[in-house]
Amino acid sequence: MLAYIIRRILQALLVMAVMSGLVFVGLYVVGDPVAMMASAEATDLERDAIRASFGLDKPLWQQYAIFMSHALRLDFGKSFLTGQSAMGLILERMPATLELACVSLLLAIVVGVPLGIWAGLKPQALSTRGIMTGSILGFSLPNFWVGLMLIMVFAVYLGWLPAGGRGATRMIGPLDLSVLTLDGWSRLLLPACTIALAKAALIIRITRAATREALPMDYIKFARAKGLAWSRILRVHLLKNIMIPIVTVCGLELGQVVAFAVVTETIFAWPGMGKLLLDSIITLDRPVVVAYLILIVFFLVMLNLAVDILYTVLDPRVRLQGAKA
C-alpha cells in the first residue's frame, strides 16, 4: 500500500512538471505581458527595464530553469500584476473556493441520494418520470445560465438574497469560513445551489442506476425472505452497497466542481481561486497561472488517490483482498 501511494505521488510530480512546462512555453509564445503592465506611453527603454526586472529578457529555457529551481523551494514567483507571491495569492483565495465546492457537493448529495433511491424503487411512478426529466434539465442547463436565473429570481425580483460576494466569516482553527455565520449562508446559498443543481442531477442518475442494479440482487430478496422491514433493507442493505459508487463519483466530482467554480465565482463575484485564474489568463499574469495549475494538478492527484483509498475502506471485499495480497 505504501509503495502504491509513493508511486502515485511520484507520478503526480511528473505530471506537474510536464504541465508547468507546457503552460510555460505556451504562455510565453502567446503574448507580451509587459505590454499589459506598462502604460501606453511608456518608452521602449522603460519597457526594457520592466522586462529586465521580471527576468523576461532572458531566453525561454533559462526562464524555465530559474522557475523550476525556485519551484523546488516552493517559491513560485511573484505575480506580474500585483507583485505578491503567486502561490500566496492563490492560497489566500483557496478556502473560499473549497468552502463553496464542499457546501455545493453536500447539498447535491443530500438532495440527490434520496431522490435517486426513490426513482430506483419506483421506476414507473409519475413522480419518478418527473425526477428523471428534471435531472436531464439539471445537467443540460448551462451552469452560468442557472446562476443568472437564480440571481434574477431571488435577488432582483424577490429580493430575498443578496446577489453576490461572500458573507462575513469566522475563524475556526487556521481557516476563515463563512458557513459559520448567517450572513455567510445567505450569500453562499445561491452560488451553492447553482453548482448543486447539475451535480444533484448527476447524483440522482447514479443513485438510481445503482439502486436499480442492487434491488434485484439475491441478497435483497433474501433480506425480504427473512422478514425484514423495508426501512431496514433500504437503510442498511441497499445504502451500504450503493454508497460505494456514489462516494467514488462524488470524490471525482469535487475536482470538477473546484475547477468549474470559475464560472460561478464570476457570476456571483465570489472571491475564490477560479476568478483569480480567469483574470490572470486575461492579463497574462503567467506566474499566477502556472502556480494555479501546479496546485490544481496536485489537488486532483491527491483527490484521486484519496478516492482510491476510500474505495478500499468502504468495500470489505477489496480491503481484505488487498491486505492478503
Partner 1 sequence: MSDTVVIAALDDIAALPAPETPWQRLRREFVANKFAVFGLVLLLLAICAAVFAPWISPQNPYDIGSLDILDSKLPPGSRSGAGTMTYWLGTDGQARDLLSAIFYGLRTSLMVGGISVAAALAIGSIVGLAAAYFGGWIDALLMRIADIQLSFPAILVALILLAILGKGVDKVIIALIVVQWAYFARAARGAALVERGKEYVEAAQCMALGWPRVLLRHMLPNCMPPLIVIATIDLAHAIALESTLSFLGVGVPVTEPSLGMLIANGFEFMLSGTYWISFFPGIALALAIVGINLVGDHLRDILNPHNAR
Partner 2 sequence: MDDSQNLLSPAGVAQHKADVLEVQGLQTHFFTHDGVVKAVDGVDLRVGAGEIVGLVGESGSGKTITGFSVIGLVDPPGRIVGGHILYLGEELVGAPEPRLQQLRGKEIAMIFQDPMMTLNPVLRVDTQMVEAIHAHEKVGPAAAMARARDALALVGIPSPQERLLAYPHQLSGGMRQRVAIAIALLNRPKLIIADEPTTALDVTIQAQILYEVQKLCRELGTAMIWITHDLAVVSGLADRIAVMYAGRIVESAAAADVIGRPRHPYTQGLINSIPTRATHGSLLRQIPGMTPSLLHLPRGCAFRPRCGYASDACLNEPQAVELPAGRSLRCWNPLADE
- Give residues in contact with partner 1 (CB under 8 A): 15, 23, 26-27, 29-30, 133, 136-137, 139-145, 148-149, 151-152, 155-156, 163, 255-256, 258-260, 262-263, 266-267, 277-278, 281-282, 284, 289, 293, 296, 300, 304
Pick the piece of the chain touching partner 2 (CB under 8 A) from 171-179, 227-235, 272-280, 282-290.
227-235
| Torsion over CA: 119, 122, 124, 126 (sign) | negative
Q: Does 160 bind partner 2 (CB under 8 A)?
A: no
Residue whose CB is less far from partner 1, 77 or 177: 77
Establish if 126 lies at the interface with partner 2 (CB under 8 A): no
Q: Is 321 exposed, middle or buried (0-12, 13-18, 19+ CB in 10 A)?
A: exposed
- Pick one of partner 2, partner 1, none as the site partner of residue 296 (Cβ within 5 to 8 A by kind): partner 1
CA distances from 124 to 127, 216, 238 (A): 8, 16, 20
Backbone angles phi, psi at 170, to 5 degrees: -135, 145
Task: For residue 226, state whether it binds partner 2 (rule: CB under 8 A).
Answer: yes
Q: Kindly state whether residue 142 participates in binding partner 2, applying the rule CB under 8 A.
A: no
Minimum separation from the CB atom of position 304 to partner 2 (A): 23
Three cell numbers written together for 319: 480491503
227 contact choice in partner 2, partner 1, none (CB below 5 to 8 Å, kind-dependent): partner 2
Alpha carbons 116 and 199: distance in angstroms, whole number: 12
Write out the binding residues for partner 2, residues 16-45 only, by CB under 8 A.
none
Asked if 136 and 201 touch (Cβ cutoff 8 Å), the reply is: yes
- CB of 204 within 8 A of CB of 131? yes
Q: Binding segment for partner 2 among 153-161, 226-234, 254-262, 292-300 (CB under 8 A)?
A: 226-234
Residue with smaller CB distance to partner 2, 136 or 217: 217
Q: Confirm if 271 and 154 have CB atoms less than 8 A apart.
A: no
